[in-house]
Every structure is written in C-alpha cells, then in structure tokens.
C-alpha cells in the first residue's frame, strides 16, 4: 500500500509509523512543509494519508500560507475516499475539513495521560484490538469538536475529544502514538520544556522522562491501527 505523509515540522516525523510501514512492505512518500516549495502528489499516486502534528494552529494561515494549499489537498483526498490517519494538528485539520470547530483547549495537555476509549469507538473496525484505556503522550494547546457524523474515539481528564472516526477509513487522534523516545526528547528540546513547571495537565520534563516507557503503549495502538487501515483499504476487513 502507498502511504503519503504530510509533515509540518522536522522534529515531528512519522516515527513508529514509518518503521511499521517499512517492515510490512508499504511505501511512504512525503510532503514536508518546512522545506521550500513543498509538492503534493496526484491523488492517483497514493492510497492512504498520514498527517502529522505541528506547533502551529489550523488558523495560522497568515503566518504559514501553505496551510491553505494543505487544506485544499486534504479536502480533495477526503472526497476521493483516501484512508487517512491524522495526528494532533493533522486531526485538527481533518476535523475542520469535516465541518467541526477547532479552538483552544481549556488548558494545555502535555505529558503522558490516560485516554479512556469509548465503547462505541472500540466497535469500529479501525480500532479493533484496542484496549479500554491507555496512557499515551499528549502535546497540544488546541482541540476540536467531534465532526458531524463521526464517532468520538475517547477522552482524557484534560481533553474531552481525544479523537474521532469518520466513515470506514478516516481517523483523527489528538494524542501522539507515533513518537519514539528520541522524538519525545527532541520535542522537549524544541519546545524549551526543560524549564516548564508542573501544572494540572502539564508534566515537567523530569516527569515525562519518568514515564517514557509508556511510549510502547502508543506504538502498540498505532501498529494495530495501521494494520486495520491496510485491511480496510484492501477489503480484507468486514465493515
């Protein structure tokens, strides 16, 4: 299967997703918006989308003009029925494209926090094999409403909408299952998090490092999800 990745920042790459796709014989091409003149593939040149996170907001088109082009491309891909996995900023972009509001969360959510997945979402083919809850990495200020016609994936104490599933093959996740331990360290450095103080839903760098083993929980969720996305695309899963 041919996946295409929309990457917004150098330090927020596909991580575990790239490793799983390569190990299972799937290709991964890229559009990197931090490079000059980013190019989008033709719709017929890929089967699925992987849309990653970023420090910018979906509303920052004045500062990041390429957001307009990305949104137009994303609308075309959704209309074409491309299976899609969108993470953090990526999920916010998909939610907006599907008619949902994207706004600041009541508080930043940074660190490893438990998400409880909804019973209805766990019945969806894309989430087949997921547990009822998992402690996963969060790093966001904004959030989204669940798009019309979508199913809420779950919630945490700090954020009411931790994801959504729309149709048979589109899923957005507010949390970061793709990040490796090295990526978490890079993100803390990029965000200047070493001096961050403990807040209600913000862990310090020391607290995050003490929980880094939880990265494997996100990886397991991601690997199961990718396998399900491939199965849906190839018609191997009952919907």
Write out pLDDT tens, residues 52-90: 999 999 999 999 999 999 999 999 999 999 999 999 999
Tell me if residue 16 is catalytic. no
Q: Which of the following is catalytic: 8, 140, 176, 193?
A: 176
Q: Which pLDDT band holds residue 118 (cuts at 50, 70, 90)?
A: very high
Helix, strand, coil fractions of the chain, as percent rounded to 5: 35, 25, 40
Tell me if residue 24 is catalytic. no
The burial of 148, by beta-carbon neighbours within 10 Å (0-12 exposed, 13-18 middle, 19 or more buried), is given as exposed
pLDDT of 236 > 90? The answer is: no
The per-residue pLDDT for range 162-214, each reduced to its tens digit, is 999 999 999 999 999 999 999 999 999 999 999 998 899 999 999 999 999 99
The per-residue pLDDT for range 119-145, each reduced to its tens digit, is 999 999 999 999 999 999 999 999 999
Output the CA–CA distances (angstroms, integers) from residue 42 to 11, 70, 76, 93, 220, in the order listed: 26, 13, 10, 20, 31
Average pLDDT estimate for 83-98: 98
Quote the pLDDT of residue 237: 61
3-state class (DSSP) for residue 67? helix
Q: What angle do CA 231, 236, 239 make, to 5 degrees?
A: 85
Each domain of the chain, given as residue ranges in start order, spans: 2-233
Q: Which of the following is catalytic: 88, 138, 159, 193?
A: 88
Tell me if residue 176 is catalytic. yes
Q: Which residues contact 64 (CB under 8 A, 6 or more apart)?
A: 33, 56
Both tokens of 152, joined, read 């809420």
Topology, domain 2-233: Rossmann fold (3.40.50)
Q: Which pLDDT band holds residue 238 (cuts at 50, 70, 90)?
A: low
Q: Which of the following is catalytic: 138, 178, 223, 233?
A: 178
């Amino acid at each position: 299967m041919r996946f295409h990745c929309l990457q917004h920042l150098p330090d927020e790459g596909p991580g575990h997703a790239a490793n799983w796709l390569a190990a299972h014989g799937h290709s991964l091409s890229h559009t990197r918006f931090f490079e000059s003149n980013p190019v989008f593939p033709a719709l017929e040149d890929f089967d699925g989308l992987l849309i990653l996170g970023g420090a910018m907001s979906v509303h920052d088109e004045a500062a990041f003009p390429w957001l307009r082009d990305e949104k137009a491309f994303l609308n075309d891909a959704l209309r074409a029925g491309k299976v899609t996995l969108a993470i953090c900023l990526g999920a916010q972009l998909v939610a907006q494209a599907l008619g949902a509001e994207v706004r600041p969360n009541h508080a930043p959510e940074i660190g490893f926090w438990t998400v409880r997945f909804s019973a209805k979402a766990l019945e969806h083919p894309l989430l087949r094999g997921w547990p009822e809850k998992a402690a996963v990495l969060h790093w966001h200020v904004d959030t989204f409403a669940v798009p019309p016609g979508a199913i809420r994936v779950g919630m945490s104490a700090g954020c009411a909408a931790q994801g959504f599933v729309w149709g048979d093959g589109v899923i957005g996740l507010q949390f970061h299952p793709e990040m490796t331990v090295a990526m978490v360290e890079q993100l803390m450095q990029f965000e200047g998090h070493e001096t961050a103080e403990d807040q209600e839903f913000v862990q310090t760098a020391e607290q995050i490092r003490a929980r880094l083993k939880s990265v494997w929980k996100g990886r397991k969720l991601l690997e199961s999800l990718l396998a399900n996305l491939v199965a849906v695309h190839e018609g191997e899963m009952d919907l």
